[in-house]
Structure 1
Amino acid sequence: MGRSLVALVALLVVVGTGAGWGAYRSATANFTQSGALDDEPDSGSGEQNILIMGLDSRLDEKGQPLPSDIYDALHAGDQNVGGYNSNVLMLLHIPGDGSKATAISIPRDDYVDLAGCDQAPCKGKIKQAYGVAYQGAKDKLTAAGVTDQQQLEQQSREAGRKAEVSTVRKFLGGVPIDHFVEVTLVAFFQIAQVVQPIEVCLNEDTSDDYSGAQFHKGVQEIDAKQATAFVRQRRDPNTDLNFTDLDRDRRQQAFIVSLSRKLEQNGTLTNFGQLQGILDVAKQNIAIDKDLDLAALAKSASTFTGGNVSFYTLPIDHFGQTDDGEDVNMVDLPTIHAIVGQLIGHQSQTSATTTPTTTAPPTAVSDAASTTLDVVNASGQTGQAAQLEDNLSSRGFVQGSASNGDIAAASSVEYGRGAQQQAGELATMLGGGLSAAANADIPSNTVRLTVGTSFTLPSSISDTADRTATSAVSSDSTTTTAPPTSVTAVPATGHGDNAPVPTDLSALSGADVPCVK
């Protein structure tokens, strides 16, 4: 689903040339305009960070079904399929000095803290922030007696936009979101219809009944219907290809590069009829924040042509599952923040190096010197058990075993014979509603701490090691330890043994038509 950035690229390239500007300005008057960023901080330095959100909805921006021929062409179901997940999330960074732009794809299944949710803690796939907040707002409005369907739709979408923007901002380490563009499913197909055929390249023959993909190895031209399958494909009967959602992110990037080249090379930018077709798609299927200054943005739109943009796909730590059995991407937040800082020069709010002015002495646990502490990591965050063992040994415990368990939301403190007092004091120290429970299967004088996905170590007992561990669990926690200073990117175009894997930061250049998986 590379629909949203494709639409934005098309529109900004149009504006950047100055061609059709009058028609463009007229068309934007009919865009859906949002106040979702009213309470969000901005970059304030001439830079612009634009969040592109591609909704999974099979409806238009007004919440209305699409024509049946569109559903047939999309090969993605009708209005009863999909929802309000942001299946495409990409941050576009435009430097204030006019240097090369950076586009960062965020895998849609990354397991994170969600904003705009009534329950606490609220965790889920990053794409779900929009839909969770949308449905919560719609339920409240309905209960309050709102019956106008257009009002329900627009106010619920505003809640979804706010939640998605806030969730992404925190996930990326507090990166300001200056503007956003939201695009529904149909926009991609309609833009591709205007521009088709489009040249793409694949490293292997591939097919997928789910998306309708059927492609051969090498360079080929595809039409709008094939383009939809190209950017949606994430499966192949050949399991040796090891398709994942991250490969779909790279497909989207490759298609954006090809579309940008096509717009530049085939004269579309000076063809008023084709320009008007793109503009008509935009006003029907795109929402933008109300403060987006399109005239100012036009000055930097040339960034999207001539290969002057670099694309990256953020890595994950490993694949995991929630308590409900839902497959998710487990991520390491300090690494994500380090990568974002490396790519766009942002200083993370949650992983910046700081110097504490005072440090409270560790809170000791009574008679803990005779008590062994075992820690089980059920959070899915690599290394957390070992980090907590190191940290809590300063409270007097004897270091026991550090192990990984099945991913679970809840945390617990259990104890064997002779360790009731120490377990109780530890539970009180950790807070979060924890209490100690006896477990006959635990050895004598032993406490077992199991940390789930919702666990956050209280800042009152945090030291440097604590905050390093906690930053991987809670996007709101504060760390005094700088994350890794450099992460090496691998080519997104690698294939065979050199193909990027989910744990790699991959990079793709916009200089030529790239060959991808």
Structure 2
Amino acid sequence: MRTTVVRSAVAAVSALVLAVTGVAWDQYTNLSDGLHRSAALGSGSGTSTGTDTNILVMGLDSRLDENGDPLPAAVYDAMHTGASDVGGYNANVLILLHVPGDGSRATAMSIPRDDYVSLAGVPDGQSKGKIKQAYGLAFDQEHKQLVAQGVTDAATLEQRSRDAGRTSEIATVRQFLGGVPVDHFVEVTMVAFYQLAQVVAPITVCLAENTQDSYSGANFHQGYQQLDAAQALAFVRQRRDTVHPSLNFTDLDRERRQQAFIASLAFQLKQAGTITDPTKLQGLIDVAKQNIAVDDGLDLLQFAQQASGLAGGNVTFTTLPIEKFGKDPLGEDVNIVDVAQVQATVARLLNPAAPTSAPAAPAAPLGTVDVLNATGRTGLAATVSQTLAGDGYTAGSTGNTARRASTVVHFPAGAGAAAAALAGTLGTSHTTEDGTVAPGHLEVVLGAGFTLPATSSATPTPAAAPTSALDGISGGGIPCVK
């Protein structure tokens, strides 16, 4: 039926661009017919058992579009990433999305781009390197071979070289992760991320500290803030702080940024009604058709039926472990990995153990919280309401009110202890009894400069140092990160 609304997981933002949007049937056909399709997956990528699906998302460092053409100068200026000759065909974002066929929680595994691994097929004669390099090395090798064979058509050279890069990257990832099947892939260019952010901006994110970086153009304050497209790109690209060196940024923090951004965007797409806005929906589809490539076997409608829970937060993001930072034989910075540990981790994530005991009884609701925004920052009341819901409160009404300096919790008679507990969660000590607040409710008025404290269960603070432990972000909200 043309009026049937379906859930379509199209790609991921730098990692899952267009993560789970709802598309009417005619729009689905428009998208499916216009995507770049590739046969690079081949028959050597394995097939998941049952109805499970594994999708490898590859975000390219290239400053070119999917056809290999340069972008308008104004786009390069806005992206703050250098011109068309900067970057290359490295797969700087690698995320394996595992969607269980039974509808249970999906897992998005980020593979740090500088993991030093064996490269499948020895592309360009290189047996080991950073995992991101498999794409570019195979692209270069194929491009040189085609030119030597007399191929001169630019489009043919570009697409056949890209297919070689895709095949090599997929094979290298599979080998590194222990032979896991890759059922489908999605390839995203850097400009696709920027254009997506233009369509859906402003985008709300949350930072645990003030941070600034002249390389990426990042300049953010602590707490929740709304970003335009250029700022969003800086947010996911930042891997250093040129003003606060004590923050000790690493590439692992950039992985966390990407995960947090995807979680925030999916939450906002659902909350803001983007998928019911014809103009924005068409904008999302246009971005996908211009700058995203997928394997020729990906049936968007079938996958939509399987992955409808992702937009609702039914996904956990995690970064695969590294052992330490080190140098390769050429002196370049790399991540030293314990391959056996990585493969064991992936195996656990793909095949979680069944619970051995009955689940604990759910905690009693902590009460209904109404949130009023007195900061002037658009969308903050809804964000805080959702975050408190994650902490066990029931989401009440949200709205805006006159500006005020401090945050305060209003409570009805007899609810002083509950108000104090909520105030502590919000990082304030101001509470006041208010006879206009309904029984069973608490009312929060957010004052200027409000930020959720890092101890909130919905705002985990990532570790800056390398770690062998899983460090996950849950979907369904706007997490705070470094």
TM-score, length of structure 2 as denominator length: 0.73
Shift of 1:494: 4.2
Q: Match of 1:261?
A: 267
Aligned residue among 30, 37, 53 for 1:26: 30
For structure 2, list consecutive stretches of 5 or more residues without a partner in the other structure: 1-9, 354-456
Aligned residue among 192, 199, 206 for 1:194: 199
Aligned residue among 41, 52, 60 for 1:37: 41
Q: Match of 1:514?
A: 479
Shift of 1:512: 2.0
1:79 aligns with 2:44: no
Q: Match of 2:307?
A: 301
1:236 aligns with 2:241: yes
SS of the aligned residue for 2:147 comes to helix
C-alpha separation in 2, matches of 1:68 and 1:301: 37
SS of the aligned residue for 1:87 comes to strand
Contact 2:41 2:295 in 1 (8 A): yes
- Amino acid paired to 1:502: P
1:251 aligns with 2:267: no
Judge which range, 291-300 or 129-138, deviates more: 291-300
1:115 aligns with 2:80: no
Shift of 1:500: 5.1
Pairing 1:168-207 to 2, within 5 Å after superposition = 168-207=173-212
C-alpha separation in 2, matches of 1:7 and 1:25: 24
Shift of 1:20: 2.6
Q: Match of 2:66?
A: 61
Pairing 1:142-157 to 2, within 5 Å after superposition = 142-157=147-162
C-alpha separation in 1, matches of 2:60 and 2:236: 14
Q: Match of 2:382?
A: none
C-alpha separation in 2, matches of 1:23 and 1:146: 37
Shift of 1:5: 1.7
SS of the aligned residue for 2:31 comes to helix
Judge which range, 228-237 or 298-307, deviates more: 298-307
C-alpha separation in 1, matches of 2:82 and 2:126: 33
Pairing 1:421-440 to 2, within 5 Å after superposition = none
Pairing 1:103-502 to 2, within 5 Å after superposition = 103-118=108-123, 122-237=127-242, 238-345=244-351, 494-495=460-461, 499=463, 501-502=465-466
The 1:4/1:81 distance shift into structure 2, 3 A limit, reads: farther
The 1:8/1:320 distance shift into structure 2, 3 A limit, reads: closer
Contact 2:249 2:464 in 1 (8 A): no
C-alpha separation in 1, matches of 2:464 and 2:95: 19
- Amino acid paired to 2:226: E
Contact 1:181 1:287 in 2 (8 A): yes
Contact 2:116 2:131 in 1 (8 A): yes
C-alpha separation in 2, matches of 1:111 and 1:8: 20
Contact 1:4 1:184 in 2 (8 A): no
Contact 2:16 2:57 in 1 (8 A): no
Contact 1:94 1:100 in 2 (8 A): yes
Contact 2:15 2:262 in 1 (8 A): no
- Amino acid paired to 2:80: H
Shift of 1:300: 2.2
Q: Match of 2:12?
A: 5
The 1:10/1:161 distance shift into structure 2, 3 A limit, reads: closer
SS of the aligned residue for 1:37 comes to coil
Percent identity, please: 57
The 1:121/1:83 distance shift into structure 2, 3 A limit, reads: closer
Q: Match of 2:432?
A: none
Shift of 1:67: 1.1
* Structure showing greater Rg: 1
SS of the aligned residue for 1:201 comes to strand
- Give CA deviations for 1:305-342 in whole Å, capped at 9, x if unaligned: 22210000112101111121111101001110111111
Number of residue pairs aligned between Structure 1 and Structure 2: 367
Contact 1:10 1:260 in 2 (8 A): no
- Amino acid paired to 2:329: D
- Amino acid paired to 2:185: F
C-alpha separation in 1, matches of 2:181 and 2:13: 22
C-alpha separation in 1, matches of 2:153 and 2:321: 43
Contact 2:121 2:168 in 1 (8 A): yes
TM-score, length of structure 1 as denominator length: 0.68
SS of the aligned residue for 2:308 comes to helix
SS of the aligned residue for 2:166 comes to helix
Contact 1:85 1:129 in 2 (8 A): yes
Q: Match of 2:107?
A: 102
- Give CA deviations for 1:220-269 in whole Å, capped at 9, x if unaligned: 11111110100000010222111000100100111111111111111111
After superposition, the CA RMSD in angstroms is 2.0
C-alpha separation in 1, matches of 2:458 and 2:256: 7
C-alpha separation in 1, matches of 2:83 and 2:11: 19
C-alpha separation in 2, matches of 1:111 and 1:4: 26
Q: Match of 1:402?
A: none
For structure 1, list consecutive stretches of 5 or more residues without a partner in the other structure: 348-490
Q: Match of 1:51?
A: 56
C-alpha separation in 2, matches of 1:218 and 1:9: 24
C-alpha separation in 2, matches of 1:230 and 1:310: 20
